[in-house]
Amino acid sequence: RLITVDQLDRDVVQSTEGGFSVALPGPVSEERRSQLTDVGEVTLHTFIAERKESSTAYYVSYTDFPASAVSQAKPSDVVSRASLGALEALGATGVSSRPLTLEGFPGWEVEGISGPRRLKGRFYLVGPRLYQQLLLHPEGQPPADAEAFFESFRLDPQVAAMLSGAQRS
């Protein structure tokens, strides 16, 4: 795993195993958690950066689902359901949602409010892998690097090709 620091006091986290890179304010912690889903047990890999002084948290995670389960569903439905699940898990009320794409892969963006906090999330499905980017911050106080965080997310082309090939086989 490669972490470099640029002049904006952000780390570029590159997950070789996850097949992505993203700019996060440091320090970044990593956790893995098993999660029971309607298609069986999966592992959620999450990278977290918190700015306690501004009550702001950045999350990037990925989960590999069984290819057989994903191939039965429309990719746009998978990302849409994932975004609703994230809102629900955080006790948030959705205020907007829209489809988007990342390098040709289906995605979904959602915004919500949970008490005094605002949430914005982007979800992408690359083959059987679901990527999630979440940002939580106090209502009306988005961090200056919010857009840079979302726009910095990049897929490793080799991993993306491998994952999209896995879905077709």
Judged by DSSP in three states, 81 sits in helix
Contact yes or no for 130/168 (Cβ under 8 A): no
Residue 43 exposed, middle or buried by CB count within 10 Å (0-12, 13-18, 19+): exposed
Query: From first to last of its 169 residues, what are the pLDDT tens digits of the chain?
Result: 444 444 345 678 889 899 999 999 888 999 999 988 777 889 999 999 999 888 999 999 999 988 888 888 888 888 998 899 889 988 999 999 999 999 999 999 999 999 999 999 999 999 999 999 999 999 999 999 999 999 999 999 999 999 988 554 4
pTM for the full predicted model: 0.88
Burial pattern 7-42, b for ≥16 Cβ within 10 A else e, equals eeebbbbbbeebbbbbbbbeebeeeeeeeeeeeeeb
